[in-house]
Structure 1
Amino acid sequence: MAAIYSKLLLALMIFSFFLEPSVKHPLHVSTTEIEFNSKEKNLEISCRIYTDDFETVLAKQFKTKVDLNKPAMHKAMDELVKKYMNTNLQYKINGKNLTATYVGFERDNEATNVYLEIENVTSLQSLSLSNSILYDLFDDQMNILHAVKAGTRKSVRANYPNKGLNVTF
């Protein structure tokens, strides 16, 4: 009899998982990868954020309809994404505050990739990143930084409410 109840409970849990639209992913995480390109003398930055969370935070912050998948809205979404990223990411390279240039975004399955770059970086000894992506949406948000220089990869993470991510080469 207990085996029947166990199987019934398991079936109900699986069924309810598919019915509950808010259960898309239990982990709130974004990743930012910054690669030093010594040939081009720049930092190439990509941020990967769950699209459903990203659309929610953009709609909340800018009080407008958001759809990162609709081609007709791409230009308007570019502006929102650019403003959001400029507000929530601040960079200090080798002790100097620098600003990233927004390049664009693209959807990749359940995530959105945002691309930025910082030009005129002749060397990379230290990198400090203040990252508050999705902090205004989740109090369990985790942001991960992967920094790459000449094939050496260093990774650090910050959990809400901490924003600071620091790497030295």
Structure 2
Amino acid sequence: MSPISSKLLLFLIIPFVFLSKEANKRHPFHVSTTEITHNAKNKSLEITCRIFTDDFENVLSKQFKTKTDLYAKNKEKEMNALIESYIETNLKFTVDGKAAKYNYLGFENDHEATNVYLEIGNVPVFKTLTVYNGVLYDLFDDQMNILHVEKSGKRKSTKTSFPEKKMSVAF
């Protein structure tokens, strides 16, 4: 499949995967997306990871051997700690070949998905961004992770499938 056809397919499938009411009952795709926007004014990378909530709860329960409930407001502090630890282990960033540390900002639920918010500061400009994404690889061997990066109005996308973790975009 050509790269253009592949990208078109991803843009057509993803909204249905996340918005379908049937997806909550039995989503046939194991997919997460990571959206990164370069904020030139704040000199930062604003990151949103979107993960199916049921899958995310399952992997957190499995890894940390505890009951999870990402919808329970009274467990929000505990869930934040689990999510931050999981993301720290399974998501790494390099900007222009240098490891980049991010700040974990929190999470929120959006229909059947959980959005995890991160930010990498002190990025006035960049040419290449590499993401090592193993989110949900410890749960599914058919997991696909998609990356969308926006910089100066230009958007680039790529994907990986289990067991590959490395994704890069260059501007």
Q: Tell me the residue number matched to 2:88.
A: 86
- The normalised TM-score by structure 1 is 0.86
Once superposed, which parts of structure 1, at least 4 consecutive aligned residues long, lie more than 4 Å away? none
Aligned residue in 2 for 1:76: 78
Structure 2's unaligned 5+ residue stretches are 1-23
CA distance in structure 1 between the aligned counterparts of 2:142 and 2:61, rounded to whole angstroms: 20
Post-superposition offset of 1:88: 0.5
1:153 aligned residue (152, 155, 159) = 155
Q: Give deviations 1:128-155, integer Å, cap 9, x for gaps.
A: 0000000000000000000000110000
| 1-structure distance, mates of 2:166, 2:97 | 14
Q: Percent identical across equivalent pairs? A: 55
Aligned pairs for 1:156-167 (under 5 A) are 156-167=158-169
The one-letter code of the counterpart of 1:145 is L
Cα distance in structure 1, aligned partners of 2:54 and 2:26? 9
Separation of aligned partners in 2, 1:41 and 1:110 = 32
Q: 1:124 aligns with which of 115, 126, 143?
A: 126
Residue 108 of structure 2, aligned match among 106, 109, 117 = 106
Alignment partners' CA distance in 2, 1:84 and 1:101? 14
Gaps of 5+ in 1: 1-21
Please name the residue that 1:139 is paired with. 141
2:76 partner letter: H
What TM-score do the two structures reach when normalised by structure 2? Answer: 0.85
CA RMSD of aligned residues (A): 1.0
C-alpha contact (below 8 Å) 1:124/1:149 kept by paired residues? no
| Bigger Rg, which one | 1
Task: Note the C-alpha offset of 1:23.
Answer: 5.3
